[in-house]
Amino acid sequence: MGAVCLAAACGPPSARPESDGIPSTATATATGSATATKPAYAVPPTGGPGYSAALSARLLSPDSAPPGFDVEIATTVSPDAGDHRPGVADSCAGGMIPLLSAARLTGTPSAMAAAVLSLDAGPDSLWVGSEVLRTYADDGARRAMTDLRTLVGRCPTVVSPGGEDTWRFAVTPGPRLGDESVHVSCRMTSGPHTLGCDGLLVRVGTTLVVVKEEGNEPGGERYLVPLAEAAVRRYQATGSGTA
């Protein structure tokens, strides 16, 4: 597998914002089921911009992911939005989609790690999602969640410049995981087609554990809670809470 999209804006190419960020992934993949043709799972020791081997070791692994999920670590991770926070004067345009869908967050993590998650969900049906870990040196995790709620409250609907695609967002309380969690509902409609790009954000101290689906058929959000539960367990079991 080459470059894999980790942004919630995945879907028809015309619907993807220019800033969706497509990180490169490790060439070796791994699966939660025994498959002789796949190489052994290993965390890449080095990578491109934004890569942290230490934090990547705390991502879901084939053994810790729910059964059937493939795990592929991203060796290049796009940066978050930094300290610039869109103001009230900024329009609810396509450029806001990565922030509204939680593909990117405000703030500057001290380290990030990401992996592509996939599942053979049935005949001609491949579910694709992602896990992203973000650690902060301060209260950035809490601020990023607060900013996300504010932005979605201000821009619950975004229409593409040509009017072909409509994105709808909502934020609700997530499952009882970590110190707090939120569920981002994300739907992209293009003509008769609707794709889901929901996500769950879980704050564990100064870290955010984020699992998302990447433009799947409706109903794919059902995998997010078991993935988030497994991701939080993995993170907590592999260190003291800091990368």
Q: For 50-67, how does the pLDDT look when each residue is reduced to its tens digit (9 = 90+)?
A: 999 999 999 999 999 999
**How many structural domains comprise the chain?**
1
* Structural domain includes residue 1: no
Domain that holds residue 140: 13-30+42-237
Rounded to the nearest integer, the mean pLDDT of the chain is 84
* Structural domain includes residue 4: no
Contact 236, 58 (CB under 8 A): no
Q: For the domain that residue 58 is a member of, what is the CATH number? A: 3.40.1000
Pairwise CA distance, residues 61 & 82, whole Å: 29
> 30-45 pLDDT, tens per residue?
444 444 456 678 899 9
* Structural domain includes residue 135: yes
Burial class (CB in 10 A: 0-12, 13-18, 19+), 198: buried
pLDDT band for 107, please (50, 70, 90 cuts).
very high
* Structural domain includes residue 144: yes
* Structural domain includes residue 243: no
* Structural domain includes residue 60: yes
* Structural domain includes residue 195: yes
* Structural domain includes residue 213: yes
Range list of H helices, the chain: 53-56, 97-100, 140-154, 224-237
